Amino acid sequence: MKLSFEDARHLLARTGFGGSPTEIDRVATMDREVAVDYLFEGITERAVTSPPQGMKGMTDEQKKTFRQERNDEALALKGWWYQELLSTPSPLTERMTLFWHDHFTSGYKKVKWPALLYRQNLLLRRNALGSFRDLLFEIAKDSAMMLYLDTQTNRKDHPNENFARELFELFTLGEGQYTEQDIKEAARAFTGWHVAVRHGGEFVFHQHQHDSGVKRVLGRVGAFGGDDILSIILDQPGCARHITTRLWLEFISDQPDSHEVERLAVLFRANDYHMRPLLRALLVSPQSWAPESRGVLVKSPVELLVGTGRLFQWPIQETEVLVKYGRRLGQDLFDPPNVKGWPGGTRWITSTTILARWQLLQRSLRGAESGMHQPQGAGISMAHGLAWVAQDSLDRVQAVLTALPPVTPIRDVSDRWQAVQQLVMDPVYQLK
Amino acid sequence: MTRRELLQLAATLPLMVFIDPYPRQALAASTRSPQHARWDRVLILIELNGGNDGLNTLVPYGDARYYHMRPRLAIARERVLQLNEQIGLHYALAPLMPLWQQQELAWVQGVGYAEPNRSHFRSIEVWETGSDSRQIMDVGWIARLFANNPPPSTLAADGIVLGRRDAGPLSGKTIRTIALEDPQQFLVQASRVSSPTRASSNPALAHILQVQRELTHAAADFAQRLEQSPSLQASFPASPIGRQLQTAAQLLAAKIPVAVIKVSIGSFDTHANQLGHHERLLRELAEAIVAFRQAVREAGHWDRVLMMTYSEFGRRAGENASAGTDHGTAAPHFFLGGAVKGGLYGAAPSLMDLPEGDLRYHIDYRSLYRTIITNWWDLPGAMSGLSDHHVIDCLA
């Protein structure tokens, strides 16, 4: 059965940043499975945006520059990701990269080395829809992660439990699936893992700082190293359940169906933790398309900015301006509030952030914000790619912009851009 | 345009229609909420985000074991601000000493809960919802209290959240909480928003509409009162906590009716190189509090203000290899205000009795809540589940 315009819109809003009428029409010629496969065909492993300044290599000389200019570089890095988000041919790739950034968090304020965060971002994108097993093994040895969660100071004589704790609690199993003792023992297994901060920030293993003694973790006993712990965790059914639940919250609703999660988690393990079969099954599941899943998730600040920017083709010269907006709305890319990532969901919306969202949207439509030059009124509808605003039916314009009927029905307006403004300023525009 | 002009403009805009979002009267009639509840009083909650190190805040300088367990992190005896012959404050808290001497500062020692959880996220949830270690609740303890004992709808908001952290104790579906960064900016922005009249069965949309209603309600009250209030004389430090408490003082000086204001400072998650970082945070906190007290006293509101700190946990008794401390359990917290009976309450956790290297708690954190509910708001017995926890006699 072919997707309706609303179905196609729903899929693009949930797996990307929404779509223009042309993009929605293209998907609306397909059925559900074909549409999801079409998204998967577009998956990329590399950013299309050229690397941010100073991050093409990591020579000693450049390292000195990092220290002097690292704040500028961090800003450039954040701007670079916004550029990629705006220009990617595969929004799903970026949505999954954002998902992993929110899952395997690392933040500039602690890591203080933008090039390592850039490298981590490439790692997340490369593995975004690959194997969770590979991703887990790579991220555990990722330099930004190791600095962020103190693997760096985890030594034989004085284990630091920070990484081990978050590995169990946030990254793989979830609360209640392990004991404090498991954390202590696992931390010992990761001793000796190190970032060579004076040699390009690569991973190194220091045998003399490694505790080679016997550990007992999740009921298994042995002289485990860090990789063994990761394998032991992946043997736990709870791990697939945890990741599946998180994906459900990201793509479907904030009410995971435990029965369906279990089915998908079993499938995830049966496919040796490959992400595509899992995500495909999730996206074609009836719950994904159910009326009660439509328009029930709040757009994150990045989704709001990127989705609006892509749709209205904001002519942004400096993506750093988006970094500033994102921060004001509560989402500073590469600087999550803590290791749990952004609280998300309805917590994106407070009296402060909703006012900031509306102010920003209003200004962007008026073209009043610096860094954006958006002509007002009828002139803009002539702009390439925005003809639909004036030419399509009002119903179709509304269907493009909002997942649900607006709270305040559109009054009879002669100026189509006024209708657009009303729809964008309506509370339902905040939903995806 | 000057600030005054802006406020005048905001005050005259017609969009700020007050619509009571909740049928308060109906709620109030169905409960035993006493008439004499002290809703003129304000609670200031200070979240020490990240888990504050209690031993380096309220320092057991008289105990040689403290120096033995913390060869790199212990605060030198001669730098400790002595409260008695055993216990003293971190030197960065020096600005608080005059308040201690005037007996406006009550330290409650060894605060924690049974079966402590060492996850930041879970433990702050325990504290903010007022639950047991293994009990999952999703409504903040103040939101729960107010659900059964609604403050009058004449309040501009039940709770105001300043700073970047979550609403925490003020989060729930029926509590009227607003988040605020800059009151002036808030007014200008809110003046363009109208109060929605419809509800929605879609939880995400319902949340947005609720936030919209709360902010229009609050803005209507703020605009008028802020315009009439004198500007503050006290100067505040430029730290984030300084700015938050400055805003709080402005709100109080403007007589904006509110029951709770939450501020936050952090991160106290000092796993590595703790000394300098912790010192800075404590100094920022102390300086901001002193400026706040001065401003609120000058405005004549100090006696109706109670401040309380909380944090997800304390830290381990011993230091770690990174010159920091890991997630622990019990820690001291303080009450501060014009109506506080200053002093040390409870017993300092013993450094000889450390189950798995952690301090043993003596006072359940919910005793602090019961103290507030009973002796501050005058709502004895208002919240079920607290009767096991005793009231601390530290409020006049």
- Residue A153: its chain B contacts at CB < 8 A? 271-272, 320-322
Report which secondary-structure segment, H or E, holds A138.
Answer: helix A132-140
What is the distance between the alpha carbons of residues A415 and A375, in angstroms, rounded to a whole number?
Answer: 15
CA distance B99 to chain A (A): 33
pTM here is 0.79
Question: How confident is the model at residue B181, as a pLDDT?
Answer: 82
Is the distance from CB of B122 to CB of A175 less than 8 angstroms? Answer: yes
User: Which residues in chain B are contacts of A158 at CB distance < 8 A?
Assistant: 320-322
Measure CB to CB from residue A296 to each of B202, B211, B269 and give the nearest one. Answer: B202
Residue B243 has a pLDDT of: 95
In this predicted structure, the answer to whether residue B386 has a pLDDT above a threshold of 70 is yes
* Residue A195 DSSP SS3: strand
CB contact under 8 A, B167 and A350: yes
Structure tokens at A120: 């981590």
CB contact under 8 A, A175 and B119: yes
pLDDT, tens digit, for every residue of A11-57?
999 999 999 999 999 999 999 999 999 999 999 999 999 988 766 66
* Chain B CB contacts of A103 below 8 Å: none
Over residues B232-254, the pLDDT tens digits come to 888 999 999 999 999 999 999 99
Using CB atoms, pick whichever of A162, A354, A355 lies closest to residue B271.
Answer: A162
pLDDT reported for residue A36: 96
- CA separation, residue A362 to residues A101, A358, A422 (Å): 29, 6, 10
Q: Rounded distance, CA B271 to CA B250, Å?
A: 36
What is the rounded average pLDDT for all residues in chain A?
A: 91
Reply yes or no on whether the pLDDT at A255 is more than 70.
yes
Across the A:B interface, residue pairs with CB atoms under 8 Å apart total 112
Average pLDDT across chain B, whole number: 89
Instruction: Work out the average pLDDT over A144-164.
Output: 91
DSSP label of B79: G
Query: pLDDT per residue over A64-109, tens digit each?
Result: 666 667 888 999 999 999 999 999 999 999 999 999 999 999 999 8
Percent of chain A scored above 90 by pLDDT? 74
Give per-residue pLDDT as tens, A97-117.
999 999 999 999 889 899 999
Rounded Cα distance, A410 and B283, in Å: 54
Best to test chain A binding among B118, B123, B176, B211 (most A CBs inside 10 Å): B211
Does B79 touch chain A if contact means CB atoms closer than 8 Å?
A: no
Among chain B residues, CA nearest to A355: B189
Please give the structure tokens belonging to residue A126.
Answer: 């490369």
Q: Is the pLDDT of residue B221 over 70?
A: yes
Chain A partners within 8 Å of B247 (Cβ)? none
Model pLDDT, residue A65: 65
pLDDT at A135 over 50: yes
In this prediction, residue A418 carries a pLDDT of 85
In this predicted structure, what is the pLDDT of residue A58? 60
Q: CA of A243, closest CA in chain B: separation in Å?
A: 18
The string of pLDDT tens digits covering residues A258-315 is: 999 999 999 999 999 999 999 999 999 999 999 999 999 999 999 999 999 999 988 8
Substitution target in A111, A294, A355 with the highest count of B β-carbons within 10 Å is A355
Residue of A158, A427, A428 with shortest CB distance to B320: A158
Give yes or no for residue B186 having a pLDDT over 90.
no
Chain A positions touching chain B (beta carbons under 8 Å): 150, 153, 155, 157-158, 160-162, 165, 169, 175, 180, 254, 295-298, 337-340, 343, 345-347, 349-356, 358-359, 362, 404, 407, 427-428, 430-431
For chain B, percent of residues with pLDDT exceeding 90? 69
Chain B contact set for A169 (CB, 8 A): 119, 121
Half-sphere exposure of A59 toward its Cβ, with a 13 Å CA cutoff?
4
- Look at residue A43 in the predicted model and tell me its pLDDT: 94
H and E: helices and strands count for chain A: 23, 4
- Contact state of B211 with A180 under an 8 Å Cβ cutoff: no
In the CATH scheme, what is the code of domain B41-189+231-360+371-376? 3.40.720
Min Cα–Cα distance to chain A from B36, Å: 31
Q: What is the mean pLDDT of residues B190-205?
A: 88
- Residues A352-392 have pLDDT tens digits of 899 989 988 988 887 633 344 444 443 343 456 788 988 89
List the structure tokens of B347. Answer: 């017993």
